[in-house]
């Protein structure tokens, strides 16, 4: 099966960044389930939690009319920060489903 690797990027911060993230910070999901954060950086777990439910669907090819194929942005749940994240597809990986659980 073919899956997309994903990058979750801080696209904008419309409030104050209590968590310390900055525009351009990111984390990646590769090889189906591996979370990667650049060395020396961090990624707020609450911001990431807002994106997590969408990631398995974004890893797959979807029909052209599917709303998840078009929509790429999610918002952190902290109303004071108003962090907007963008989910980008950054490549594909071929995996055997028998190797996964």
Q: Classify 53 as helix, strand or coil.
A: helix
- Ordered by start, the domain boundaries in the chain are 2-99
Note the pLDDT tens digit of each residue in 12-57: 999 988 889 999 999 999 999 999 999 999 999 999 999 999 999 9
> Average of pLDDT values for 54-66?
91
Helices (H), 1-101: 45-51, 55-58, 67-70
pTM of the model: 0.90
């Amino acid at each position: 099966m073919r899956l997309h690797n994903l990058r979750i990027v801080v696209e904008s911060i419309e409030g104050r960044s209590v968590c310390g993230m900055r525009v351009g910070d990111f984390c990646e999901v590769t090889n189906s389930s591996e979370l990667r954060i650049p060395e020396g950086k961090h990624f707020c777990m609450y911001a990431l939690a807002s994106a997590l439910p969408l990631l398995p669907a974004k890893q797959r090819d979807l029909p052209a009319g599917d709303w998840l194929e078009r929509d790429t942005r999610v918002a952190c749940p902290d109303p004071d920060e108003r962090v907007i994240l963008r989910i980008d597809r950054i490549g594909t990986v071929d995996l055997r489903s028998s190797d996964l659980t």
